[in-house]
Structure 1
Amino acid sequence: MERYMVFARTEYDQPIEHRGDVEAGSDEEAAKVAQERHGRDWLEMTLVPVSRAYWAEKETQEGETEVQV
């Protein structure tokens, strides 16, 4: 299972915002789950596998900010 971050917007003048996360076994399944959970009324919806995201800055479990390069 892979966790995906869901980003979406409904209007061109809106920024793409993080709408939540979904877990799925494939990209296609993740898209289906995201649409079921968040609806289909989006102008644009993007899924990013967490394992493929590059974190420039990330909060640690201790609540501290960690910068990665």
Structure 2
Amino acid sequence: MRAGLIVIGIVLLAGGIWVTAGHGSYQQTDTVAKLGSAQISATHEKAIPQWVGIAGIVIGGVLAIGGFVSKR
């Protein structure tokens, strides 16, 4: 349990730093036009909101510290 908390905490912490630094993004595909069975779609690259990165840093830090401090 202790090692699991530490590993999950470090992964969340690293992911949070990555997103906060501006490197996190995802793709969203929208249908622009549809005529019968033909379809035109566009793919947009969107950044992951910065608050998600900050939340990952905070939660990851709490989990990692909790894993280091736990007495079991």
Higher share of residues assigned strand: 1
Taking structure 1 as the reference length, what is the TM-score of the superposition?
Answer: 0.22
**Greater Rg, structure 1 or structure 2?**
2
Taking structure 2 as the reference length, what is the TM-score of the superposition?
Answer: 0.22
Higher share of residues assigned helix: 2
